[in-house]
């Protein structure tokens, strides 16, 4: 149906405090499976795993702003936008594209 890559990171701050974040570095669904809910199901699973491991803030690395299907998916899954980079991605065919940075508070 597609692929999901998740990278879970642990960051340590001063005085032994620990902040856990998860970064999803890729989610793709084959076009013939669009609309089946598999991407949303994948997000629910990633969120469940993150909670079980103690992670507090999974985030999508970035989403091309023109990819409204992806932006909408993240929003339905509870992700909120926390910034944009107007020249965050350079496509070989269409030049620079704006990236939307999104995260999910658990």
Q: What is the 3-state secondary structure (H, E, C) of the chain?
A: CEEEEEEEEEEECHHHCEEEEEEEEEEEECHHHCCCCHHHHHHHHHHHHHHHHCCCCCEEEEEECCCHHHHHHHHHCCCEEEEEEEEEEEECCCEEEEEEEEECCC
Q: pTM higher than 0.75, yes or no? A: no
pLDDT digits (tens, 9 = 90+) for 29-80: 888 888 888 888 887 887 787 778 777 766 666 889 999 988 998 888 888 8
- Average confidence score pLDDT of the chain: 78
């Amino acid at each position: 149906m597609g692929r999901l890559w998740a990278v879970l990171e642990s960051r340590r701050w001063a005085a032994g405090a620990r902040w856990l974040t998860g970064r999803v570095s890729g989610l793709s669904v084959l076009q013939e499976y669009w609309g089946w809910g598999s991407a949303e199901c994948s997000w629910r699973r990633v969120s469940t795993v993150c909670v079980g491991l103690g992670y507090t803030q999974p985030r999508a690395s970035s989403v091309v702003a023109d990819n409204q299907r992806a932006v909408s998916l993240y929003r339905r899954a509870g992700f909120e936008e926390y910034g944009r980079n107007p020249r965050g991605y350079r496509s070989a065919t269409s030049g620079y594209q704006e990236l939307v940075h999104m995260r999910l508070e658990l």
